[in-house]
């Protein structure tokens, strides 16, 4: 965070974070407009916000009536700059200024259409937007009465107060999420706020900051050398390359840790990648046994994540000790990007969406003692890709689909004990706990299995959204693509994270990647997790879930439908893997489900 202040200009737009996972998306979308935006805790006193030309209060998982719900400095709404409240931000604005908010039980997650009222022609916020355009909702509570001075600019079929403004006080609010790509004219709305209302000037272009970043690396590192733990992912690769350029190849070293939780061929790919980037100083550390043995009896997903995080630290400490890397001549380099600096506690009330291992205690100590360099800590992922392209890093490295740090472990679901499926009118409920994100916080719930084939065109995806919105019993819906056994003969099988199951998943994942690359489907989507779930019979205990999604940044995502021919061929190939009972297709968008299953 210190580095960020050195590298970045002063923010013209500050996002006040009320704990919502879309808060970074808002900042990123403002930066896409060429205006530097940062994220601060929602309670930041107005005196510390002097200089911002506009504020955006983010959405968040709370209700304004919760006893511990995040607030804002009330002075923001009296003498702050123009302010836009999004979702919870709008509720907060209405609540603090004398309007009313109704608490909802179930809520609305997904698409809606925005209909203008008679007040909209005078609105600066909605200027140039099209009536009845598609928007994206994710909320439980709604504003039922606007505060004095406000007018209602737009409604939806189910929401009477979808956009509001008080032009005299420069206060604006929307119930929907203009920052997500599913709101078709969301960027136009943000443009109206940033330029039309706040009168910001363009001041941000990540590419033009490369020389500044390189100088920053030289200043931080001084006469020491830099050591990286590289993952093969975009962030650490770009950070490593920046250090190579800034310091020269003799002063930068890297280690890639093989956790045994990697995909097929990954270690060889990474070795070759760094060789091509001119860094033949990246070594491979094999540590499969160290990760897999403490995970052997674990079925709880959060425990899995914690163990993997701890083992990462142990391996890192071992390497650091054995190579005397912190003897004063070395400094640790990391590919930490801006959201990572905030997600694990940089903000006061952030709901924990995932725990990031770049911010665990050992590393935190290094950070505090100044023995760390994080050249990308001001940038978002797509800005990092832009920098990577500018540096001449080949596309095959920059355009890789994201792959989670904990690896295949969080795609290999386990079950403590056998359990039957429950037939309901729409299909079968399987008591396999998968994670979802409704109203911005993580929730584990069972899945609903439909016995219909997910034909291309995405019709079943629409149904899945309706089913999840209407029920508290599951947070994810999957369709049966192909099977050796009818659903009525399947049950949840007691299972652990064994070498055998990981190999099964690795084989399935490699099959899917190969077929989807050959077909060209891989290029059309953002990420394609393949998940092994313990659903089947004693002889064939597992099923494979296909989870192709489209997204811009992983914050929201759409379940994408696949060409029937490819899907059928893929399912045939997967059913031939020993131990696989059926192939399923995840139909759920994010929200309400997350991309990963754990
Ligand atoms: P979710 O499942 O939260 O995932 O919708 C959003 C994006 O983040 C990736 N992901 C992770 N990446 N460490 C990582 O480095 C993690 O623990 C982790 N969990 C999820 C996920 O693959 C998707 O791209």
* CA torsion angle 487 491 495 501 (round to 10): -20
| Across 58-72, 249-263, 335-349, 385-399, least confident range | 335-349
Q: What is the pLDDT of residues 239-259, one digit of tens each?
A: 999 999 999 999 999 999 999
Residue 489's nearest CA partner among 423, 584, 568, 579 is 423
* Helix residue spans in 226-300 (DSSP H): 234-247, 266-276, 288-295
**Which residues are marked as active site?**
87, 177, 179
- CA of residue 410 to ligand 1 center, whole Å: 10
The best mutation among 22, 354, 551 to test binding of ligand 1, ranked by most ligand atoms within 8 Å of the C-beta, falls on: 354
Angstrom distance (rounded) from CA 294 to CA 316:
17
- CA of residue 446 to ligand 1 center, whole Å: 20
What 3-state class would DSSP assign to 277? coil
Buried b (16+ CB within 10 A) or exposed e, 43-64: bbebeebeebbbbbbbbbbbbb
* CA torsion angle 296 301 304 310 (round to 10): -170
- CA of residue 32 to ligand 1 center, whole Å: 22
Question: In which residue ranges of the chain is CATH 3.30.300.10 found?
Answer: 412-586
What number does the ligand 1 atom closest to the CA of 353 have?
3
Q: Considering only CA atoms, which residue is closest to atom 14 of ligand 1?
A: 404
Residue 583's nearest CA partner among 484, 509, 510, 513 is 484
- Contact partners, residue 240, CB within 8 Å, separation at least 6: 228, 230, 252, 254, 274, 277, 279, 333, 335
Give percent above pLDDT 70 in the chain: 93
- For the chain, helix (H) and strand (E) counts, in that order, are 18, 28
Could you tell me if 42 and 16 are in contact, meaning their C-beta atoms sit under 8 angstroms apart? yes
pLDDT value at position 361? 57
Pocket (CB within 6 angstroms of ligand 1): 354, 402, 404-406, 527, 554, 590, 594-596
Superfamily (CATH H level) for 206-403:
HUPs (3.40.50.620)
Q: Considering only CA atoms, which residue is closest to atom 7 of ligand 1?
A: 554
Mean pLDDT, rounded, for 404-421: 96
Query: Is the confidence at residue 347, as pLDDT, over 50?
Result: no
Greater pLDDT, 373 or 104: 373
Query: Is the confidence at residue 376, as pLDDT, over 90?
Result: yes
pTM: 0.81
- CA of residue 246 to ligand 1 center, whole Å: 30
* Helix residue spans in 155-300 (DSSP H): 186-191, 210-221, 234-247, 266-276, 288-295
Q: What is the pLDDT of residues 526-578, one digit of tens each?
A: 999 999 999 999 999 999 999 999 987 787 789 999 999 999 999 999 999 99
Other CB atoms within 10 A of residue 188 CB: 16
The CATH T-level fold of domain 13-197 is: Rossmann fold (3.40.50)
Question: In which residue ranges of the chain is CATH 3.40.50.880 found?
Answer: 13-197
CATH class of 412-586: alpha beta
Question: In which residue ranges of the chain is CATH 3.40.50.620 found?
Answer: 206-403
Angstrom distance (rounded) from CA 260 to CA 512:
20
């Amino acid at each position: 965070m210190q580095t960020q202040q050195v590298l970045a200009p002063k923010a013209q737009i500050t996002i006040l974070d009320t704990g919502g996972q879309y808060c970074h998306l808002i900042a990123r979308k403002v930066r896409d407009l060429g205006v530097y935006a940062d994220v601060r805790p929602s309670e930041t006193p107005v005196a510390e916000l002097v200089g911002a030309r506009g504020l955006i209060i983010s959405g968040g998982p709370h209700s304004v009536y919760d006893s511990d719900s995040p607030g804002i400095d009330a002075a923001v709404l009296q003498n702050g700059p123009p302010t836009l409240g999004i979702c919870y931000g709008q509720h907060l604005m209405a609540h603090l200024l004398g309007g009313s908010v109704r608490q909802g039980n179930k809520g609305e997650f997904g698409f809606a259409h925005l209909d203008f009222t008679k007040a909209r022609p005078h609105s600066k916020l909605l200027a140039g937007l099209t009536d009845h355009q598609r928007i994206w909702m994710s909320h439980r509570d709604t504003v039922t009465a606007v505060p004095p001075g406000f007018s209602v600019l737009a409604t939806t079929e189910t929401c009477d107060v979808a956009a509001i403004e008080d032009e005299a006080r420069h206060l604006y609010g929307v119930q929907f999420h203009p920052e997500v790509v599913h709101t078709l004219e969301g960027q136009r709305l943000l443009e109206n706020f940033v330029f039309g209302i706040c009168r910001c000037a363009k001041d941000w272009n990540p590419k033009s900051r490369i020389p500044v970043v390189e100088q920053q690396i030289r200043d931080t590192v001084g006469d020491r050398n830099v050591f990286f733990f590289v993952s093969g992912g975009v962030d650490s690769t770009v950070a490593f390359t920046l250090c190579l350029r800034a310091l020269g190849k003799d002063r930068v070293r890297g280690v890639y840790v093989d956790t045994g939780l990697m995909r097929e061929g990954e270690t060889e790919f990474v070795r070759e990648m760094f060789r091509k980037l001119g860094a033949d100083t990246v070594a491979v550390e094999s540590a499969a046994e160290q990760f897999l043995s403490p995970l052997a009896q674990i079925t709880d997903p959060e425990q899995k994540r914690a163990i993997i995080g701890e083992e990462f630290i142990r391996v890192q400490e071992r390497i650091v000790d054995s190579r005397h890397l912190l003897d004063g001549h070395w400094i640790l380099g990391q590919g930490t990007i801006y959201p990572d600096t905030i997600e694990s506690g940089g903000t006061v009330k952030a709901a924990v969406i995932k725990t990031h291992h770049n911010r665990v205690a050992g590393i935190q100590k290094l950070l505090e003692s100044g023995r760390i360099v994080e050249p990308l800590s001001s940038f978002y992922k797509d800005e990092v890709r832009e920098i990577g392209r500018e540096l001449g890093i080949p596309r095959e490295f920059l355009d890789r689909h994201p792959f989670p740090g904990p690896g295949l472990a969080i795609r290999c679901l386990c079950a403590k004990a056998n359990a039957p499926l429950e037939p309901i009118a729409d299909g079968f409920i399987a008591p396999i706990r998968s994670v979802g994100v409704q109203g911005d916080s993580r929730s584990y719930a069972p899945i609903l299995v439909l016995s219909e084939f997910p034909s291309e065109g995405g019709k079943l995806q629409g149904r899945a959204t309706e089913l999840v919105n209407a029920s508290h019993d599951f947070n994810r819906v999957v369709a049966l693509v192909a099977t050796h056994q009818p659903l009525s003969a399947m049950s949840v099988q007691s299972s652990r994270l064994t070498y055998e199951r990981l190999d099964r998943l690795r084989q399935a994942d490699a099959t899917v990647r190969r077929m989807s690359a050959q077909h060209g489907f891989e290029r059309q989507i953002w990420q394609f997790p393949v998940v092994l779930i313990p659903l089947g019979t004693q002889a064939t205990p597992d099923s494979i879930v296909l989870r192709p999604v489209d997204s811009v940044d992983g914050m929201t995502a759409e379940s994408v439908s696949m060409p029937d021919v490819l899907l059928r061929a893929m399912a045939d190939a997967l059913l031939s893997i020993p131990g696989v009972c059926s192939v399923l297709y995840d139909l759920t968008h994010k929200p309400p489900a997350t991309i990963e299953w754990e």
